[in-house]
A = this chain, B = another copy of it.
Amino acid sequence: MARKVGSHAGTTGPRVRAAALRLFAREGYAAVSMRAIAAEVGVQAGALYLYTPDKQTLLFDLMREHLEEVRAAWAAVRPDPAPPAERLAAFARFHVNHHIDRPEAVFIAYMELRALTPENFARIEALRRAYEGELEAILREGACSGAFRLPDARLAARALIAMLTGVTTWYRAGGPMSRAEVAEAYAALALRAVGAPA
């Protein structure tokens, strides 16, 4: 046997990445073999190397695409000239809504950093810092203008990011609360945490 019926790089490529995303999130990068990914796609292990140069790059690309997507999505909805409280509320709602639909990518991007080579780690960290810097800038500005009352902008940014991202560890669609309700609840917590009651 060789080439499969209906095979096409345009479909197999995305299926490889989807399988890797799902398995990496569920079992962890190190615990997932290329053979397991291939089996999920319905292909032999060797065929994966038509779509990625190696396993490390497969992980790196998944992370990079996730972080670039987050940045682009935020840039598209970010209210730019707006008071700090409104910008913070928008960020919190956006962050929760965006992450709640991508628990697997979020999990990988935060937990498999240690599996990256030093070079790849540095590039991913730069992307993350750029995104998280958006929140820190909002907080810093609000602290300066007196709109927020907070201990330390950097600490508060880290604390709020952790809080907001944590939604992915428990939320599952079909529960008692809708995505929008959850996002609103988190936004209210974030606003009050910095002394800007909603």
Q: Nearest CB to that of A110 among chain B residues?
A: B169
Does B28 contact A159, Cβ atoms closer than 8 Å?
no
Instruction: Please give the distance in Å from A162's CB to the nearest CB on chain B.
Output: 3
**Residues of chain B with a CB closer than 8 A to A163's CB:** 159-160, 162-163, 166
Check if A28 sits within 8 Å of B114, measured CB to CB. yes
A interface, over-half SS: helix
Complex interface: stretch among A7-15, A65-73, A147-155 = A147-155
Complex Cα spacing A169 to B189, Å: 21
Within 8 A of B (CB), among A158-197: 158-167, 169-170, 177, 182, 184-186, 188-190, 192-195, 197
Using a Cβ–Cβ cut-off of 8 Å, how many residues does chain A contribute to the interface with B?
40
Query: Do A115 and B31 have beta carbons less than 8 Å apart?
Result: yes
Residues from chain B with Cβ under 8 Å of A80 in the complex: none
CA distance A185 to B139 in the complex (A): 15
Shortest Cβ gap from A49 to chain B (Å): 22
Q: How far is the CB of A81 from chain B (nearest CB, A)?
A: 27
Cα separation A162 to B170 with both chains bound (whole Å)? 11
Least CB distance from A42 to B in Å reads 24
Q: How far is the CA of A2 from the CA of B189 in the complex (A)?
A: 60
Q: Which residue numbers of A lie inside 8 Å of B, CB to CB?
A: 26-31, 111, 114-115, 149-152, 155-156, 158-167, 169-170, 177, 182, 184-186, 188-190, 192-195, 197
